Structure 1
C-alpha cells in the first residue's frame, strides 16, 4: 500500500471519529483541522524524507559506480599498453633491442603519468648469465651484473639454475635496478610464478628498492608473462617450458588514478578511496588506510567509511582486487539533506500547498521514468558495439518502407553485406581486434550512405542498408554497392596490424523483387550467396534464375541425403607409384556419385554442397570405412589414402570414428594415410595439432595435400607432424614448359628431405613429366599416366603398373 493510500485511510478514520463525537463542542472543528493538518504534515514530511533518501542514494550509487567504471577502464588502458609491449616480444623473430624497447615503451606511455617505469626481465639460465652481463655492458649499462637483494642492499647473485634480472628498463642506465634478480625477492618471485602459470597479468603492492621523496605509500607492480613465439601455452607445463621472460610495469597508483579522474572530468561530488587488497597482515579495519583518496577531508579508515552513506566496489589490477569505497563529498550535491521534507513539514497545514508539492514530485518521478523508458527503447534498437541500428530497428524500418511503397509507390533497395575474411582476423588476432575492425567498418559504411538511408548491423559481420528511392533505383543501388566495396577493400589499421578484407553484397529492389519483408530479405540473401560463390568481394542484383538455382540445389541436397542414407555412393581408387621402381605403393580413395537419373555427378558439384550442409560428416565416414574395408583385402604392401574435410575436423568424435573404422576392417593403422589440406590448419591450430599427434601415435601416416596453394605452407611443415607432402597438380601441369615450376619442385623436394618427409607429385599425365619428376627427386607419383580412378572390382592387384598412352590421353 502506498503512502497516499495510507494517508487517505487515516483521513477517513479521523472524519469518522469527528462524526461520532458531537459532544466535543465548539473546539471540535478546530481540533479536527489541527489533527488532520498535523497528520498530513508529519506523514507527508516522512514520506518525502524517505523518498529523498532513496533518490539521493540511487544518484550517489550511480555516480560512484560510474566513477569506478571510469577508473577500471583507465587502469585497463594502462594494462593493455603493457600487453602491447608483450606483443612486441612475442611477434618478432628477431631479438628486441634495447633502443627498440626504450622507443616503444616511451611511445606507449606518453601522457600517462601514472607509469613510473617499465622493465624487461628475460629468463636467463646459468650458462647464459655471463653472456647477458656482457651484452648489457656493451649496451652502455656500466658495471652490469645480475644481483640479489639483501638486507644491506644489492649483492652479486649466487649461482642458480635461472634468473629473472632487470635487463631493459626505462630507468637511466646509471640506475641500480639494472641486473636486480626478481627471483631473489620472495614476494616478487611469487607474483612472477603466478603470472607464468596462469598466463595472466599478475599484480603486487610493493615498495620500490630505490628510495623516493616523501615516504610515500607502496606502488603497484604488474607482471605480464612473455612466451617464445609460436610455442604452446595450453598447460602449466607448456607455459613453464616456453616462458621467455616478463614485462614488468611499476605504477604510481595515486598519480595514475588522479590522472584518470582529471582526464575524464570526474565528478567532484563523489569522494573515492582505494584501499589495498585484504591480506593476512591486516587485523583491523582501522588499519585499512587508503592507497588513494580523492578528498583529504573524507573518512579515511574503512570502518569510518562504513558508518556513513557509502558505495563498495573493487578495482581490478591484473589478478588482484583493490577495495574501492565511495562517499558523498561533504557539502556536495549528493550529500543527503532533508530540505524538501522540512518544507513539507512547515507548509503541511496548508492542504493546497501540500498537494501541489506532492504533484510536483510525482510529475518529476514520471518524467524520470519516461526518460528511462525512452533510453531503454533506444538501447533495444541500437547495436552496442558499433552504435548502428540493430536488426530489430532494421526490420521495423523495412516494414515502414513497405507500407509507404503500397501508399506512395516509392521504390527502394535492400543491400545485404557480409565481410570477407573477417573470420580469419577473429581467429588470428582475437575477438578484441575483430570488434575494433567492426567499429572501423561501421564508420566507413556511414561515410558511404546518405542521411536518409538506413544502415544497420544485423549481427556478427553482417550489415544491411535500406536505400530510399532514386531516379534509377537499380543504378543507384549498384553505385552504392561499388562505393562500399571499394571502401572496404582499402586496408584497415588495427593496433600492431594492417588488415585487408572485402565484402560480398546482395541487392534486392522493391517492388521489382517483392513487396513484403520476407520476400525481399530472402532474395537479397540469395543475391549475397551468389556474390560469395562468385569469389567474394563483389556485388550481385537478384534475378529469377537464383531462385531456380536454389530450388535445384535443394533438390540435389535432398538426393544427396538419400544417397548417403541408402549407401548409393561409390568409392573409386587411383594408384600412386614409387617414382624410382615404378612399383605400385597404394591407392587414393575417391568418392563418386552415380545419380539414378542424372548419371555420374562430378565431385566438384556435390562435395562443396556436402560441406556447406554438414553432410560431409556422414559422407566422409562412409568413404573412410569403405576404404579401410576394401584395403584390408589388398596385398600387405599397399596403402590406402583418404582425404579428410575441414568440416570433419570440427567433429568431436572424429578420432573414435577412425579407430572404429580400423578396428572393424582389421586394417593395420600403418597402411592408412590421412590427407589433410592447409585450410584445416588455419583454425583451431592447437586442437588440430593434438589430434594429429594422436593419429601419429596409432601409426597412421599424415600427408599435406595440395601443397603450395595455401597461405603459409612452410610454417605448417615445421609445426605439424606430416610424413608426406603432395605437390599440387598445378605445378606439374607447367613442369615441361615453365622452368620456374621445376625450380619450385626442386626446392620442395630439398626441403622435404631436410624434414625427413617424402614427396608425392599429383596430376602426372605424360611420360615426359614423369621422367622430369624422377630427375628432380620426388618419391611417389600419381596421375592418369598410371591409371584413372577405378572401382575396386576393376583393379588387378597382381599386374604391375605400366604407364599407358591411353591413360595419359
Structure 2
C-alpha cells in the first residue's frame, strides 16, 4: 500500500508539471529577458552611480583646485606689492623718508583689504640707537624709544649690538608699536634671520601685541629682507654683512582670504578652510582648528574634514605653507544626487519591459527597434550644431573611398577649411553669435557642393569636404575652393551686427598625394597651414616642397631649443645717439644666433618660429638678463633697450623676471628701456595697462616700438605711460624722396612733445637723413650711420662724447 501511494504522488507531480510546461515554454524567453534585464539594470545603475560619484569628485576637485590657485594668486599679489617697497628702498639714491614710505605704502594697498599694517625695520647698531630715536621724535613720533617685549608689555630695550625696531609704520604715530625691537621676540627674530640668510620672503603665524577692535586670530607676519643698494648678496655671509633692514607686513588672514574670494567671485558650492602650518610637534587632528573658514557650518577640525569628501592643498605665504581643505557645501552643485543612476535604473526597467513585450509581439516591435537603431547611428555621425556629418562619418567615408581606390575606383580630393577671424567673433560677440555664424557658414558651404560631395564639420571652426568623380580633379578642386572663398568672404548677418570673415583652404588629391587616410589628411593640413601663412582667405594645393619645409622647420625648431638650453645665442648691441649732440645715449640689445653648421641665422628666420612655438619666452628672458648684466658695466649715462614679445606679456611672472634681471645684475631700473609693439596693446588692455604702470612705478623707461606700422591709435599714447616713440625705419627710408614722410615725422614729433615724450628714429643710414631728422626735431637716432649691431667685446666705451658717427668696431 505504501508503495502504491508513493507512485500516485509521483504521477500527480508529473501531471502538474506537464500542465504548466506549455505556459513555461511560451513565456520562458520573456521571463529570461525580465531576469537578465533587471540584473543589467541594477548593475548598470550601480556602475553609473559610481561614475556619477567619480565625475562629481573630479569636478569638485577641479573647482577646489581652481579656488586654491585663485587664492594663491591673490596672496602673491599682496606679496608682490610688499616687494615693491623693497625695490623702493634698494633703488633709491637717497634715504627714503617717512612721508615717502607712508604715501607709497598707502597707494600700494589702497584697494587691498586684509593688510593690517606695513613697517620698515632698519638695521640699527649700538652707536646709531640714539640717532634713530632722535630722528623718529623729530618726525613726530613722540617719546620714541627702542623697546623690547617683556611678557605682554613693552620696556626700553637693553643695550645690544644691533636692533631691528619699527621705525616707519602705517599705524598712527601714537601707536605703541613704534620702536618695538623684533629681535627681542624669539619667533620674530627667527623669521628675520631666515629671510635674511635665504634672501627670500619669509612668513609666520603670529598675533599682534597691540590690541585692535574686532581682532581675531590669526595674523600673518611677512618679512622681506632689504640689502644696501649695489651690494653683493650671493652668499650667506654677503647677505648678513650687507643687510639694511626689513620690510614687514601683517595680514589679517581671514579678511584677506575672504576679500580674494569675493573679488574673484568664488563658487559658493565649494567651502574652503585654511589651517595653520604644520609644526614639528605632534598635534591631534581634532585640535587643529581653521584660521579661516568660508562657511561657519562646515566641519571645523581637520579630522572631521578628512572623514568627508574633501580636497587637500596648500596656500604658500612666503616660505611657509598653510594647509587648505575644501569641501562641497551642503545642497550645493557638488552634492551627488545619483539622478543618472536612477534614470538608468528606470530606463533599464522600461527597456526590460519593452524587451519582454517585444519577445511576445516581435512582429509589431521589430520595426520600432530598427528605426530606433537607425536614429542612434545617425546621431553618432551627425554634428549637433550644424546638422552636418561629423568627424566620425567623414573618416569612415574617407576609408571607404581609399578602399575603392585600391580596387581601381575613382579619384577624389580633400579640402580642409579653417575660418579666418572666427575667434574674434567669439571673443567680441559671444559664443551664441559664434554658433549662429557656424550654422550660416554650413548652409553656404552646402549650397556650393554637388549632391555626391561630402561636407563635414570636424570641430570648432574646421570643416572638410570630399569631392569625387571629376575628369580633372585638380581643376575641379581649385574651382570649388575659389567659389567657397568668395561665398565665405561675403558678410554674414547676425543679430545687430554684420560680420566679415574668410576661410583658408588646403587641398590634397588622391592618389597623387597619398592612398591612405593619414597621408591625405596630413598633406591637406600642410596645404592649409601654407594658406594661413600666405595671408589667409586663400587656397593651396599640396606639393612635396611643403613636407620638406615642415621637416626643415622641425629641424630648425629642435636646433633652436638646443641653442637656448645651451646658451649658444649671442646678444649684439646697436647704439642710439642724441640727435642734437651726437653723443651716445645707449644701446639696443639684439639677439643673434650663430648656428654651428649654418653660420649666422638672421633673426627674421628664427624669431617668428620662436613666437609660434613659445620658445620666445626663455629666449626673451635670456636676452633681458644678458643685456642687464652687460649694461651694468657700462658708463652710468648709457641705457640699454630690450624688446619684449607679445607672447612674453601673457606670462604671469614677467614682472618678477624683469625685477630679477635687474636685481641680479645690479642695473638701476632707470637705465633699462622696455620696447613693446602696438600688437601687445590690442589684447588684455586693462591687464597690460596695469603691468606697464608697475614697470613705470619702479623707474623703467617704456617705448612704443615700430610706431606707424600697425594701428597707431592715438588712444595708446594717452592711455599708456610711454616715455618714448620709436618711428619705424620705413618712414626714414623714404625721408629724402617723399615729402609725405617728412610731414608724418613732423606730426609725430609735435604729438610727442605735447605728451611729454621723446622720439627715436630707426634705420638712419645717411648723413642727409640725419640732418633732416635733426631739423624735424627728432630726439634720438639709431642706424648703420652710427654703428652696426656688435658683440659687447667689440664696443668701445672710451669714444668721444660727441660724434656724428660712432665707431663700434
TM-score by length of 2: 0.55
Cross-structure match for 2:289: none
Matches within 5 A, 1:253-652: 359=359, 370-652=370-652
- Mapped to 1, the partners of 2:653 and 2:363 lie a distance apart of 63
**2:803 aligns to what?**
802
3-state DSSP of counterpart to 2:619: helix
**Distance in 2 separating the partners of 1:422 and 1:385:** 16
Report the CA distance between 1:805 and its aligned residue. Answer: 11
Residues 466-502 of structure 1 deviation map (CA, whole Å, 9 limit, x = unaligned): 1112010111111111111122222223333333222
Shift of 1:432: 2.9
Q: How far apart, CA to CA, are the structure 1 residues paired with 2:804 and 2:441?
A: 56
Alpha carbons of structure 1 residues 669 and 377: separation in structure 2 relative to 1, 3 Å: farther
Q: Is the 8 A contact 1:607 1:616 kept in 2?
A: yes
Cα distance in 1 for partners of 2:17, 2:784 equals 117
In 1, Cα distance between equivalents of 2:18 and 2:597: 104
1:515-535 per-residue CA deviation (whole Å, 9 max, x = no partner) reads: 011111111112122222222
SS in 2 for 1:408: coil
How far apart, CA to CA, are the structure 2 residues paired with 1:508 and 1:30? 72
Separation (CA, whole Å) in 1 of partners of 2:757 and 2:369: 72
Assess, with a 3 A threshold, how the Cα gap between structure 1 residues 614 and 238 changes in structure 2: closer, same or farther: closer
Structure 1: gaps spanning 5 or more residues: 1-17, 55-233, 240-343, 345-354
Structural mapping, 1:134-145, within 5 Å = none
SS in 2 for 1:451: coil
**Shift in Å at residue 669 of structure 1?**
1.6
Q: Deviation at 1:508?
A: 1.0
1:372 Cα offset (Å): 4.2
Give, in angstroms, the shift of residue 236 of structure 1: 9.1
| Alpha-carbon separation, structure 1, partners of 2:22 and 2:485 | 79
CA contact (8 A) 1:446 1:455 kept: yes
Q: Provide closer, same or farther for how the CA distance between residues 441 and 519 of structure 1 changes in structure 2, counting only shifts above 3 A.
A: same
Conservation of the 8 A alpha-carbon contact between 1:575 and 1:584? yes
Structure 2 equivalent of residue 720 of structure 1: 720
Q: CA RMSD in A?
A: 3.7
Aligned to 1:785: 785
Alignment partner of 1:413: what SS?
Answer: strand
**Helix, strand or coil: the match of 1:711?**
coil
Secondary structure (helix, strand or coil) at the match of 2:388 reads coil
2: distance between equivalents of 1:24 and 1:409? 73
CA contact (8 A) 1:707 1:713 kept: no
Please state how far the C-alpha of 1:564 moved relative to its aligned partner.
1.2
Q: Is the 8 A contact 1:427 1:683 kept in 2?
A: no
Shift of 1:382: 2.1
Q: Is the 8 A contact 1:787 1:803 kept in 2?
A: no
Cα distance in 1 between the residues matched to 2:390 and 2:698: 50
Work out whether residues 358 and 365 of structure 2, in 8 Å CA contact, stay in contact via their aligned partners in 1.
no
TM-score by length of 1: 0.55
* Structure 2 SS opposite 1:796: coil
- Alpha-carbon distance in structure 2 between the residues aligned to 1:588 and 1:420: 36
Q: Cα offset for 1:747?
A: 2.4
TM superposition shift of 1:792:
0.9
The match for 2:91 is none
Instruction: Kindly state the Cα deviation for residue 642 of structure 1 after the two structures are TM-superposed.
Output: 0.9
Q: CA deviation at 1:616?
A: 1.2
| Mapped contact 1:786–1:801 kept (Cα < 8 A) | no
Cα distance between partner residues in 2 of 1:446 and 1:522 = 24
The answer for the alignment partner of 2:334 in structure 1 is none
Aligned to 2:672: 672
Question: 1:776 deviation in Å?
Answer: 2.6
* Cα separation, partners in 2 of 1:712 and 1:235, compared to 1, 3 Å: farther
Q: 1:387 to 1:780 in 2, by over 3 A?
A: farther
The whole-number CA distance in structure 2 between the counterparts of 1:798 and 1:235 is 57
1:398 Cα deviation after fit: 0.9
User: 1:452, CA displacement in angstroms?
Assistant: 1.0
In the other structure, the counterpart of 1:683 is 683
Moved more, 722-731 or 786-795: 722-731
Q: What displacement does 1:442 show?
A: 1.8
| Preserved CA contact (<8 Å) 2:489 2:501 | yes
Q: How big is the shift at 1:448?
A: 1.6
Q: 1:514 to 1:580 in 2, by over 3 A?
A: same
Distance in 2 of aligned mates of 1:772 and 1:384: 64
Distance 1:376 1:620, change over 3 A: farther
Matches of 1:389 and 1:765, distance apart in 2 = 60
Alpha-carbon distance in 2 for matches of 1:637, 1:664: 20
Alpha-carbon separation, structure 2, partners of 1:19 and 1:373:
55
How far did 1:801 drift? Answer: 5.7
Q: Secondary structure at the match of 1:505?
A: strand
Deviations 1:581-606 (A, max 9, x none): 32222111100111122111110011
| Equivalences for residues 65-76 of structure 1 within 5 A | none
Show the counterpart of 1:764: 764
Is contact 1:678-1:704 (8 Å) kept?
yes
Shift in alpha-carbon separation, 1:719–1:422, aligned structure 2, 3 A: farther
Deviation at 1:506, TM superposition (A): 1.4
SS in 2 for 1:731: helix
Query: How far apart are the structure 1 equivalents of 2:516 and 2:11?
Result: 79
Cα distance between partner residues in 1 of 2:22 and 2:461: 69
User: How far does residue 369 in structure 1 lie from its aligned partner after superposition?
Assistant: 5.2
Q: CA distance change for structure 1 residues 358 and 452 in 2, over 3 Å: closer, same or farther? A: closer
User: 1:357: how far off?
Assistant: 6.8
Aligned partners of 2:557 and 2:609 also within 8 Å: yes
* Whole-angstrom distance in 1 between the partners of 2:709 and 2:643: 16
In the aligned structure 2, how far is the partner of 1:713 from the partner of 1:689?
15
Partner Cα separation in structure 2 for residue 644 and residue 30 of structure 1: 92
Alignment CA distance shift 1:373-1:728 (3 Å): farther
SS in 2 for 1:558: helix
Answer yes or no: is the 8 Å Cα contact 2:481–2:539 preserved in 1.
Answer: yes
TM-superposed deviation, 1:790: 1.0
Please name the residue that 1:285 is paired with.
Answer: none
* Cα displacement (A) at 1:371: 4.1
Q: Distance in 2 between matches of 1:500 and 1:752?
A: 35
Structure 1 residues 720-729 or 362-371, which shifts more?
362-371
Deviation at 1:775, TM superposition (A): 2.7
Change (3 A) 1:36 1:469: closer
Sort the Cα spacing of 1:34 and 1:627 in 2 relative to 1 into closer, same or farther, 3 A.
closer
Q: Is the alpha carbon distance of 1:379 and 1:36 closer, same or farther for their aligned partners in structure 2, counting shifts above 3 Å? A: closer
What are structure 2's unaligned runs of at least 5 residues? 1-5, 42-259, 266-352
Please tell me whether the aligned partners of residues 418 and 462 of structure 1 are also in contact (alpha carbons under 8 angstroms): yes
